[in-house]
Chains A and B, each alone.
Chain A
Amino acid sequence: MQRSNIFDYKHYFYFKIAVVVILLAFAAYLIFEPTVGHYGGSWLGYVLGTLSAIMVLWMAWYGVRKRRYRGSGATQGWLSAHIYLGTALTVLVTLHSGFHFGLNVHTLAYGLLLVVVISGFFGNYTYMIYPRQMTENMGEDNLDGLLLRIAEADKLARQIALIMPDNINNTVARACSETSIGIGLLEQLRGYQPNCPTALAVEQLTLMGNDLSTEQRKPYRELYSIMVRRQSLVKRARQDLMYRSRLGFWLYFHVPFTIALLMAMIAHIVAVFFYW
């Protein structure tokens, strides 16, 4: 049984279609030179423009399609087509414009389309690299499990810290209460907390162990190992959140700009037909 990803889906079927579409568009562009020259209002411009508009709508429909679980067919094929034909779209609209750009709603629509496509490219990139890294980071654990283990480590650490000198107790308490895991988009995307209190605590604990009594040594060592474990758990949880947010972040551009594109496209079409 052969399995394929979104790129080589059905032996690059949609890639081939996209190439054919691009070649046909170029051929038409080179062979037919309208008397009025290349621009959106020529007959070839209209053909390319209409085709592009239909494709934009169809691309946008993917957002609906992938959540329509009761439909038929496989989403994977749709995504493969979405990617390749979306890429081909940039060529179509460029040829449609006949390379006439200006400060107007037409070029705005063009620009928005490019933003959408480029953000899509970035999405593809994240889909290619992050899943594997996520698995390497998490293994068989999941985020909820990690957070639970962090909470358990906290409970234990606080208990032990109670019988320790104040400076150690404070450090541990601060680490437990002030360490943040993926609070705010920026921290999620970065995947670390600047001056992470847990990391600091581990660092400081290394130094604080020197003036402890002999009976405090054993719990101290235990506390230290708990904090080290906590540090690695926190790191993994943050990494996981980072990957998740990066896998989804580009959509904050892709989707709103798609909607903006749809608006601009309507304005563009209305403008063309009203101000002929």
Chain B
Amino acid sequence: MKPEHFNIIIIGAGPSGLSAAVRASEQNVSYLLLEAEQAPASTIRNYLRGKLVMAEPRGLPLRSPLPFTAALRETVLETWEKTIADHNINVRYGAKVLDLHRATKWLEIELTDGTKLTADHVVLAIGVQGNLRKLEIPGGDLPQVQYQLDDPQAYQDETIVVIGGGDSGVENALALTGRNQVIILNRAEDFSNCKDSNLNQLTDARKRGALDWLLETKPQAIETNARGEFPITIFANTSNGVERIPCHRVIARLGALPSRPLLESFGVGFPTPDLAALPLLSTHYESNVPGLYIIGALAGYPLIKQGINQGYEVIEYILGNPVEPADTALLREKFANFCNDRGVDDVLEKIRKSVPLLAMLNTLQLRELVLESNILLPESGDIIFKRNDYSTTFFFIVEGELDVLIDEDNVPDATLKAGEFFGEMALISGRRRTGTVRARTSCVLIETPRRVMQKLIGSVQSMRRMLDEVAIKTAVHIGIGLSLSEKDLNDLATNATLKNYAAGEELFHEGDEADGLYLIQRGSVTVSRMIGGREVVLFYVAAGHYVGEMSLVSGEPRYGTVRAAIETQAVLIEAGRMRDIIARNPEIRSVLDARYMQHLQEQEKRQQMETMQDSSGSLNQQTTPSNLISFLIQQGVGEATDVLLIDESLCIRCNHCEQACADTHGGATRLDRDTGPIFANIRVPTSCRHCEHPHCMKDCPPDAIHRAPHGEVYIDDSCIGCGNCQVNCPYDVIQMAVVHDQPERSLWQMMLGIQPKSSPNIDGPKVAVKCDMCKDIADGPVCVRACPVGAALRVNPEALLSYASDASGEAALLGSDEV
């Protein structure tokens, strides 16, 4: 039988695919929409009931006949189902694509049920969520086996087996406890892949008897039971043999399969071997397989509105209709003050020509970058950013020259020219700016958010390489000395190597031969020594500093062990090359010598303190400074820029810190005073640490999380309440709350401490709230200022260094006995 032929086959009835199908039906072309599930938009269908579906980016106009506005999940689905009916969309449900390949004349598709189809054009819009890993065991396809949990409230008094010890499995299991009997099957020997918070809840739940788990257990088969209370029985292979568990339901959370292998089986090419890389696409979304178009999340556009617009555009492109991409108007606006006499494409071409780094991007990537960026037009003398600012953007120079001032003397230490870029140090380290940049002439700059840069670095290999090279050079320049000749500098930089370390990994070990100098680029390290038979942490060294100079100067073996406190990147300059430089540059020699002497003194002092406190029985051995540093690093201070600590020996538990926070921040306190670990009377309460590389920023759809110049990580008004940041935060400091203005209390209420009647639950959307270090409040953090006894304090990790080397500061921090 001859396979059915269509002009266009659209695979995937998500937003992008639906949009394409609706447009195709409007244009009266022969088309077919294939959907593997039994209903359209399965990803949105799998959202929890009543979840708000967002329509970001707000500025982007919607141009498709498929209607879409931000609304509840149910409303969105209803509207789309109505559109499918109204347009009489030619859709085939339950149609899974098995194979897709290019034949000479057209593209051939084979479905799992054996049906063969051919098409001139195929639009692939399957998203990235549909590819859930399934149980490859007998019975894995039974109706009682599910791979998603939509609404945990829907199940009552059931025995449910959850397979998978990852976060999603554990979260599902926890959501089901209380009303159901829950058992988790975990292939691994523990739940070490889980977030700490999940692990704690899990352990608690098991202690309470709310759930149980089986470790090192693999499911073998699932069988239906003809009678009895339980409809199915799962057979699992444990270390003690096969266990049979009768149950009502199995929920398997095995993660999603990466879509890359699937695309590669279709012949689609990728630019880098990175599994997360995006497929190579033309400006018309066409892949390297002629006639195969990829749109939506699969093409790297995770937002619904983008996908819907692409669905429209791709049909127009296929039909050969010129269509201006939806973002052109936005780009035109961006270029309003810059080359506004030229067309958008022209300006983009000019940018690409003047900045080599941007020439590495394809047109789609460049458009997206410019859309997300700002065009800055500073005049001569304008300051772009100051040294020690926290700012997270990256700059490309399209026109003009700028001066870099690294030290205090107001004499330019370097010049940046058109085509170059700057801001890579802060991009990599997540720390303060290492220098001030000032415009020398009038310039044209593109200021790109860090998030966009990181996405690009992830998919454009050559860009990453170039950035790394420049970053190494800058690190050497700033770290070793500004007095190096250009030749020496280049020589050092080209021979330096970039090294990555996982948390806890050693850079080098006490007693090792010196292999070189390590410039810490991102992350932080601890320096420790064996003293009296135990490892004592002497120092904490943050990004932007270097370690390993002591042995280099003295020629002796390594004096201590250097270990990454968190994920760390360092530039290694070989010992031989370094010695050579030192020999030829007396200035660098004296700098390193001075540091060597200073370090020796500090270490002596610290060592004395440690041994003194060790031997005197009266002082708790626990409270030695090194233990305090280790404790704080465990609590995430190593990646923090500012942490709230509470001295429990002073705290009178009055809760004014929390109340002050709630009162000034819309009624929801952003700190929890009485939870959090304690060490030597110092509590690290549940409150934001303002990480160097904020975990919360990783996946924020409206890009609402920013970093202010002084380091505050804050969430702006565009938060849509999706909760991603709450999930991503490893310290559980973000919560979802309804924010509403707090009435000022009356004089009487304040005098007598009467709580105003709490207003009844005000309806409103819940948004993510977290500490913003009171960046908009004149005198600084209210939690600290509201503390009547001075128990609340904020520290930054650099201050740790001074605690460690300054005995008096130490005593004050530890709240020693004197009052």
Contacts and interface: CB of A to CB of B under 8 A. Distances in A.
A2 B656 contact: no
Contact of B675 (A6, A79, A142): A142
Interface stretch (A125-133, A192-200, A219-227, A229-237): A125-133
A93 B650 CA distance: 31
A1 B785 contact: no
A96 B659 CA distance: 40
A75 B802 CA distance: 26
Given A131-B652, A244-B653, A73 B785 contact: yes
Interface string A128-160: 101110110001101000000000100000000
B789 A127 contact: yes
A75 B786 contact: yes
A139 B678 contact: yes
A75 B788 contact: yes
B753 interface: yes
A269 B675 CA distance: 50
A1 B789 contact: no
Contact of A5 (B786, B789, B808, B813): B789
Interface string A1-33: 111111111000000000000000000000000
A224 B527 CA distance: 49
Contacts of A75: 656, 785-788
B86 interface: no
A145 to B, nearest CB: 9
Contact of B790 (A5, A64, A139): A5
A110 B547 CA distance: 66
A64 B747 contact: yes
Given A7-B819, A79-B789, A131-B651, A69 B795 contact: no
A36 B31 CA distance: 112
Interface string B656-686: 1001100110000000001111100101000
A247 B812 CA distance: 23
A236 to B, nearest CB: 14
Given A67-B745, A135-B678, A140-B676, A74 B812 contact: no
Contact of A132 (B681, B752, B779, B799): B681
A152 B205 CA distance: 11
Contacts of B642: none
B753 A79 contact: no
Contacts of A247: 652-653
B788 A79 contact: yes
B144 to A, nearest CB: 31
A66 interface: yes
A79 B784 CA distance: 14
Contact of A63 (B653, B663, B675, B752): B752
A5 B650 CA distance: 7
B813 A3 contact: yes
A155 B659 CA distance: 35
A6 B790 contact: yes
A128 B653 contact: no
Contacts of A1: 795, 799, 802-803, 809, 812-813
Contact of B812 (A3, A6, A69, A255): A3
Interface in A54-69: 60, 63-64, 66-69
A135 B681 contact: yes
A76 interface: yes
B85 interface: no
B751 interface: yes
Determine which residue in A5, A69, A132 has the highest number of CB atoms from chain B within 10 A of its CB, and name it.
A69
B208 interface: yes
B750 interface: yes
B649 interface: yes
A232 to B, nearest CB: 17
A130 B650 CA distance: 9
Interface in B757-807: 778-779, 782, 784-791, 793, 795, 799, 802-803
Contacts, number: 108
B647 interface: yes
Contact of B663 (A4, A70, A79): A70
A72 interface: yes
B648 A131 contact: yes
B432 to A, nearest CB: 18
B612 to A, nearest CB: 21
Contacts of A132: 648-649, 681
Interface string B676-704: 11100101000000000000000000000
A60 B813 CA distance: 32
Interface string B312-356: 000000000000000000000000000000000000000000000
A7 B659 CA distance: 24
Interface string B265-284: 00000000000000000000
A76 B808 contact: no
Given A5-B789, A75-B787, A76-B789, A64 B649 contact: no
Contacts of A68: 750
B786 A135 contact: no
Contacts of A76: 785, 787-790
Nearest to A73: B779
A135 B648 contact: yes
A119 B134 CA distance: 70
B779 A72 contact: yes
Contacts of A142: 674-675
Contacts of B795: 1
A70 B812 CA distance: 29
A6 B650 CA distance: 9
A72 B676 CA distance: 28
Contacts of B676: 140
A4 B819 CA distance: 9
A60 B722 CA distance: 46
Interface in A74-121: 74-76, 78-79
B653 A134 contact: yes
Nearest to B754: A67
Contacts of A78: 788
A201 to B, nearest CB: 22
A66 B788 contact: yes
Contacts of B208: 152
A152 B206 CA distance: 12
A257 to B, nearest CB: 13
Contacts of B653: 131, 134, 244, 247
Given A79-B788, A142-B674, A69 B649 contact: no
Contacts of A7: 819
A95 B253 CA distance: 79
A61 B799 CA distance: 36
Contacts of A72: 778-779
Given A64-B750, A127-B652, A131-B650, A9 B790 contact: yes
A78 B788 CA distance: 8
Nearest to A255: B752
A134 B663 contact: no
A272 to B, nearest CB: 26
A241 to B, nearest CB: 11
**Nearest 9 CB-CB pairings of A with B:** A69-B660, A135-B648, A67-B750, A76-B790, A142-B674, A64-B750, A79-B788, A132-B649, A72-B779
18 contacts: A1-B802, A1-B803, A4-B812, A5-B650, A60-B751, A67-B659, A67-B745, A67-B750, A69-B664, A75-B785, A76-B785, A79-B789, A131-B649, A131-B651, A132-B648, A134-B653, A142-B674, A244-B653
Interface of A: 1-9, 60, 63-64, 66-70, 72-76, 78-79, 127-128, 130-132, 134-135, 139-140, 142, 152, 244, 247, 255
Interface of B: 207-208, 647-653, 656, 659-660, 663-664, 674-678, 681, 683, 744-745, 747, 749-753, 778-779, 782, 784-791, 793, 795, 799, 802-803, 808-809, 812-813, 819
Given A67-B749, A247-B652, 18 more contacts: A1-B803, A2-B808, A5-B819, A60-B751, A63-B751, A63-B752, A64-B747, A66-B786, A66-B788, A69-B664, A69-B786, A72-B779, A74-B784, A75-B787, A127-B789, A132-B649, A247-B653, A255-B752
